[in-house]
Structure 1
Amino acid sequence: MRDFTVPAEAGLRDAGLGAGTTIALPSGRIAYAERGAGPPVVFVHGLLVNANLWRNVVPTVADAGFRCIAPDWPLGAHQVPMPAEADLTPYGVADLIAEFLDELDLTDVTVVANDTGGALTQILMANHPQRLGRVVLTPCDAFEAFFPEPYTPLPKLVRLPGASWLASRLLRLPVVRRRPWAFGWLAKHGIPGEILDSYLSPIHDSREIRRDARRFIAGVDKKYTLGAAESLTGFRKPVLLVRAADDRIFPAQLFERLSAILPDARLITVADCWSFVPEDQPGELARLIVDFATDRRADVVEEEHGC
């Protein structure tokens, strides 16, 4: 059930993402923004960011004739807390994404993912491929790299008493935000301060959001991405792998390995960017998404007309 009353906290959402609303799912309530009309494109961000990651990508994709849907997934920068009993393991959040697609009755969906969201999308591809039409994976966790260095200690650290509260306070400091284990190695050309504030205010201001983030992070384990990888050999829908030329977090070999196991994968390298391609090269990423999704639509039309 959708609630078309925009939450008060939606002021943190960039206007370029479109109109905001929330939707009640079996697992909990999700806030999202929507812009444009046409075939659906759903965006999946990673840990401690929200839909604002896509603020410079969505307008171009929407203007090209696509319905762009950018949710705030419960990964620590979301505005609406999840129920205390919600399953926030990687399997649980991937199930939540599938619930979202089901509730909006989206079919032949293009899913675009980054960072931790790429790991969740691989699990979605393995366990819930029915509504997917194609997938765009930008730099993301995969195989043994869930989490990658320098984030591998996080699942143990968040189990320490008071660790998530302390981290939420330290991350208010610019010098901490610039550290490699924070946001320092993610965007080559930086992230605007107001966008970082939109990412980090929820865990600072809300005990429930810190609880959600802590529960997800504590559950991260390479067994999820390794398990998904075993099933990806059977995912025969088109996948675009967008690798960052100067990535300091995700090794180039991760996408080479994904390309080798996916039956229908294209591997592209984008110059002058780190892991957050939507921040460093949003125009190029938007162009790649549109070209990839439009090419697939052309293939479908040809098949329908027997060409």
Structure 2
Amino acid sequence: MTPSARPAALGESRELTLDSGTLRYFESGPPDGPAVVLVHGLLVNADLWRQVVPGLADAGFHTYAVDWPLGSHEHPMPDADLTPPGVADLIAAFMDRLDLQDVTVVANDTGGALTQILMTRHPERIGRVVLTPSDSFERFFPPMFALLPRLAKVPGGTWLLVQALRLRFVQRLPIGFGLLTKRPIPRDTVDSYVLPSRRDGAIRRDLGAFLRTVHKRHTLTAAEQLPAFPHPVLLAWATEDKLFPLSLAERLAGRLPHATIVPIADSLTFVPEDQPAELVRLVTEFAGRSVA
């Protein structure tokens, strides 16, 4: 599939070919700035960070907004291990190939679950982590989306899912993006999320491969190992989130030896959509820099 036009705010579009396939990513900020790797969740892509990247770049960070293979990517990855631990390993491989050091990882939603797994499997290149509302513990997925792995195991189930998301009113329902953001997501951004898996059967196969292996055992296993994570973690959590309540952040803080919770008002799960400026402020303060 021909790569689509993407927001200029994300920075320079690049591609990185790993043993498991090709990732599209976007770079912004000073070349010598501290590295920030952004990890989105299911059925979105790097566009989630379009309002966050400019502020981080202005603060002197070098950002990497990646299209991870979670259903809204443009390069199929048929040879990749698309289990949750496999995608966490892919994030580590991305950082290894670019030789990124002392990385600030900022994650949201499903990306937070992958990051928790990453923290337990590959902590060596991570300097600090910012988790916004994310799948954690037994909420992988939360109850509203708990049937998706079962649906993906039914022949044609993934196709039905992506076809349902072509309808605008479904996109606004709780089973779409309705519980994820308080404010409407621009139509072109939603299209960048839902069109790749609708148009390309190979992308749907990637999506199905991931969905079929989502299980709470992955996040529960990570939670057992998180007390060994030696670096600071900021839990920038939306107080009004219905999918991932603040109690999850409190439980994570109880497992992490160097964790701080900062509540974020007037936001649901997609903090990068609802409160991008506040997220930029928190990340820059947490990483020891100031907003330009």
Q: What is the TM-score with the length of structure 1 in the denominator?
A: 0.92
Of 34, 38, 52, the residue aligned with 1:39 is 34
Q: Give, in whole Å, the separation in 2 of the partners of 1:268 and 1:62.
A: 22
Q: Distance in 2 between matches of 1:264 and 1:155?
A: 33
Kept after mapping to 2: 8 A contact 1:236/1:264:
yes
Which consecutive residues of structure 1, in runs of 5 or more, have no partner in the other structure? 1-6, 297-307
Q: Which residue of 2 is the match for residue 4 of structure 1? A: none
Cα distance between partner residues in 2 of 1:46 and 1:294: 26
Query: Which position in structure 2 is the counterpart of 1:304?
Result: none
Give the TM-score, by structure 2 length.
Answer: 0.97
Of 242, 249, 256 in structure 1, the residue corresponding to residue 250 of structure 2 is: 256
The CA RMSD over aligned residues, in Å, is 1.2
| Cα drift, residue 85 of structure 1 | 3.0
Q: CA deviation at 1:251?
A: 1.9
Q: Percent identity?
A: 56
For 2:27 and 2:4, the matched residues in 1 are separated by 13
Amino acid at match of 2:214: V
Q: Which residue of 1 aligns with 2:85?
A: 91
Q: Once the two structures are superposed, what CA deviation does each residue of 1:221-279 show, in whole Å capped at 9, x if it has no partner?
A: 01100111111101120100011011011122110000111000010000000000000
- Give the match for residue 117 of structure 1: 111
Aligned to 2:279: 285
Contact 2:112 2:133 in 1 (8 A): yes
Matches within 5 A, 1:139-288: 139-288=133-282
Looking at structure 2, the residues matched to 239 and 10 of structure 1 have their Cα atoms a distance apart, in angstroms, of 34
Alpha-carbon separation, structure 2, partners of 1:295 and 1:70: 19
**How far does residue 8 in structure 1 lie from its aligned partner after superposition?**
4.5
Which residues of 2 match residues 45-84 of structure 1 at below 5 A?
45-82=40-77, 84=78
1:23 is the counterpart of 2:26: no
Give the letter for the 2:156 counterpart. Answer: G
Q: Which residue is equivalent to 1:302?
A: none
Distance 1:71 1:162 in 2: 28
Mapped contact 2:159–2:204 kept (Cα < 8 A): yes
- Give the aligned residue type for 1:41: V
Secondary structure of the equivalent of 1:291?
Answer: helix
Amino acid at match of 1:16: A
Shift of 1:77: 0.2
1:295 Cα shift?
6.0
Whose radius of gyration is greater, 1 or 2?
1
* Contact 1:40–1:106 (CA under 8 A) maintained in structure 2: yes
State the distance in 1 between where 2:197 and 2:20 align.
Answer: 20
Paired residues, number: 288
Q: AA paired with 2:268?
A: W
Amino acid at match of 2:148: L
* Structure 1 residue ranges (4+ consecutive) displaced by more than 2 angstroms after TM superposition: none
